Amino acid sequence: MVNKITNFLKCELERMFKDDNNQTLVYYQSKSLNHILEIKNGPIKYVPKNSSFKEALKKAKNSIEMSKSKLSKNLS
């Protein structure tokens, strides 16, 4: 479930922010909150019935940030 949300968010962020790839979610929120709100509605279908969207989004956000952290460490 988290991987599906994470992959969905990554794809949508790359699509909507083509010129600003590999930034944090906080960066994207400050740049265009409307785009983030559009993206947020997409992964609802991936949230398990026994979980809230907020919990699932938090797990996905943490997963994305960990992936970016690992990527930046590998590039250093």
Over residues 25-67, the pLDDT tens digits come to: 777 778 777 877 777 777 777 777 788 877 877 877 787 778 7
- Residue 34: domain span: 2-70
The answer as to whether 51 is a domain residue is: yes
Give the mean model confidence (pLDDT) for residues 2-17: 77
The predicted structure's pLDDT at residue 76: 61
Does some domain include residue 75? no
Q: Domain count for the chain, please give it.
A: 1
Judge whether 76 lies within some domain.
no
> Hey, what amino acid is at 64?
I
Whether the predicted model's global pTM rises above the 0.85 cut: no
Q: Is residue 31 part of a domain?
A: yes
pLDDT tier at 1 (50, 70, 90 boundaries)?
low
CB 43 within 8 A of CB 5: yes
